[in-house]
Structure 1
Amino acid sequence: MYLIFNNYLKFSSTSFKGEIAALAAACLWAVASLIYGRLGERIPPLQLNLIKGIVAIAFLLLTILISGELVPNIAPLSLCLLLLSGVVGIGLGDTAFLAAINSLGARRVLLIGTLAPPITAVLALIFLQERLNVSAWCGILLTILGVAWVVTERTPNTSDSSATHLWQGIGFSLLAAMANAAGGVLSRAALANTRVSPLWAALLRLIAAVLILLVWIPFARRQGSFQLKTLQSTQVVLAAIFAAFCGTFLGIWLQQTAIKFTAAGIALTLLQTSPVFIIPLAIWMGEKVSIRAIAGVVIALAGVGLLFYLS
């Protein structure tokens, strides 16, 4: 796997290395999200996040051993930023993401995830005093409009119970988007002016996430919000490993590659294209996707693009 990925880097060394990595990550996240949606019926979000983190760490350690890059070249400040990014973006963000999938489904949750770049821009405005021009605000509003148009679409089977799940899922999705935005900013700050490899960046983030989850689980169990469920089915175990390999191991590695080798705005925009990839997958799995849903995805992604390219 390392050799394949290394050949990809050489192939794309002339240009578009970060862009290709971002699109590949978005596609893998779409595939993994559908699998996580099925696994969520058997495994609670906190436990599932821990499992996928451990599996991905094992793959990353194996890849590092094969590559021979045993010692990371990283400054203390960058190390702290990456660890904090893992705690926020993966530990908190992915747990909320998996909980949201159980309520809303992968397609809607990935679409709400397109709010992460606008949230990042607003956070930068508040805390870093980075000014936004008119086109940037138009992009933010367009993204919000596209997301809202899809999420509020009612189906004939809508009931009070499904409405409760809807708002619960929206809450978890927004929390995941905010955590993803904060994690992305921290990761970008750590990688922008350092020589640390995307491979080590992904590993350090995942280690921090797994450690915070191990601390979190006893408190969740004490409060009765965590239930340990045994993985009795070999099919479930293999599905969890495959999803972790695609979405966490390869996905986060490619994400860090995109953030390192292309502009932050381009990387964040292309990393949010998962809703485009998931639509044909959802149709193939028998899910009914309306014209309104497809139009909402196009509007939301156009807003993300407008936010960065014309700002």
Structure 2
Amino acid sequence: MGLGELFSLLSAAAWAVGVILYRQLGASLPPLQLNLVKNLLVLGMVALAIPLLHGPALPAFDAGSVAIALASGFVGIAVADTLYFRALNQLGAGRMGILGNVYSPAVILLSFLFLDERLTLLQFLGFGLVSLGVFLVAERRAGDAGGGPALLRGLAIGLAAILLMAVAIVMVKRTLESQPLLWVTGLRMLGAVGGLLLVGGLMARHRGTPLLPPLRGLPWRKLVLAAFVGQFLSMVFWLGGYKFTSASVAAILNESSSVFILLLAWAWLKEPLTRRAIAGVVCTLAGVGCMLIPA
């Protein structure tokens, strides 16, 4: 297993912890406020981590790399994460898990068009097995939202979020390969926070709602844990996966997060494991194994 493949799997595991925590936090915090608070926390974590790991010297960023990293953060975090949290509240984890299958094909297509990446036949088999496994796992909980226009609106929002995440990561792939990982992470977070402050400020003025929730009474312990594991660690590992392996392979391995969510729900929330869910775990692990076999 290469470093990129390991980081991609660790990212999926960390994101699974974050999804459970964000699902609980979303019951009391609107998506935009939740996204802004957690990104401010993550920006502080990244700012502390950069000098510890990279020292005080500044990397040799050119203007184009800085602009791409900032734009990637705005698109992939400020916009996409806000839409994702809204869809997660509306659809539930089950349907969002199924909708997440769009992410890998979107990254593979964009990588084919813009990064000249190709998959081997064995990796295509792995992609199919991972997608089947995620579908089997997610379908078990797919009845948690109603039908009608609300469902269609939620599906459209969720699809837009996932497609924007794919665009954002392919956009920054070349910059990740040539620049220090945490510096790129920090620039993406600056783009995200700046975008959220701009969009949130306009929405707050238009709707008369506060940009930030009342700080007193917030579940800070859960917020910090969600920000550290579900965003900081998940994002560093996620970007590290794309830095050290191809975007297509990293995207497919990231899909294993749905299996980690299932296993955490079983161990943490005492939810039962059905035969369908176990079959999904087996398919996903087999697919991951195909992705890890050298070409």
TM-score tier after normalising by the smaller chain length: 0.7 to 0.9
Which residue does the alignment assign to 2:85? 98
Which letter does structure 2 place at the counterpart of 1:114?
A: N
CA contact (8 A) 2:74 2:188 kept: yes
Residue aligned with 1:96, SS: helix
CA distance in 1, matches of 2:208, 2:277: 33
Which residue does the alignment assign to 1:47? 33
Mean alpha-carbon deviation: is it higher for 164-173 or for 129-138?
Answer: 129-138
Which residue does the alignment assign to 2:105? 118
Which residue does the alignment assign to 1:11? none
Which residue does the alignment assign to 2:42? 56
- TM-score, normalised to structure 2, is 0.81
CA gap of 1:151–1:224, structure 2 versus 1, over 3 A, is: farther
Kindly indicate whether residue 229 of structure 2 is the aligned counterpart of residue 246 of structure 1.
yes
CA gap of 1:137–1:60, structure 2 versus 1, over 3 A, is: closer
Kindly indicate whether residue 214 of structure 2 is the aligned counterpart of residue 230 of structure 1.
yes
Which residue does the alignment assign to 2:261? 278
CA gap of 1:126–1:280, structure 2 versus 1, over 3 A, is: same
Residue aligned with 2:147, SS: helix
Shift in Å at residue 221 of structure 1? 2.5
Which letter does structure 1 place at the counterpart of 2:17?
A: V
CA gap of 1:127–1:267, structure 2 versus 1, over 3 A, is: closer
CA distance in 1, matches of 2:152, 2:103: 18
Q: How many residues align?
A: 291
Which residue does the alignment assign to 1:184? 169
Match of 2:20 among 34, 44, 50: 34
CA distance in 2, matches of 1:117, 1:30: 17
Which residue does the alignment assign to 1:259? 242
Shift in Å at residue 295 of structure 1? 4.3
Shift in Å at residue 306 of structure 1? 8.0
Which ranges in structure 1 are unaligned for 5 or more consecutive residues? 1-14
Which residue does the alignment assign to 1:79? 66
Which residue does the alignment assign to 1:202? 185
Mean alpha-carbon deviation: is it higher for 139-148 or for 276-285?
Answer: 139-148
CA contact (8 A) 1:85 1:205 kept: yes
Percent of aligned pairs with the same amino acid: 35
Moved over 4 A (4+): 124-155, 225-228, 293-311
Which ranges in structure 2 are unaligned for 5 or more consecutive residues? none
CA contact (8 A) 2:80 2:160 kept: yes
Residue aligned with 1:105, SS: helix
- TM-score, normalised to structure 1, is 0.77
Which letter does structure 2 place at the counterpart of 1:281?
A: L
Mean alpha-carbon deviation: is it higher for 109-118 or for 55-64?
Answer: 109-118
Mean alpha-carbon deviation: is it higher for 261-270 or for 217-226?
Answer: 217-226
Deviation per residue, 1:213-264 (Å, 9 max, x gap) = 1010123224439665324435x11111111111221111112221111222
CA distance in 2, matches of 1:128, 1:258: 16
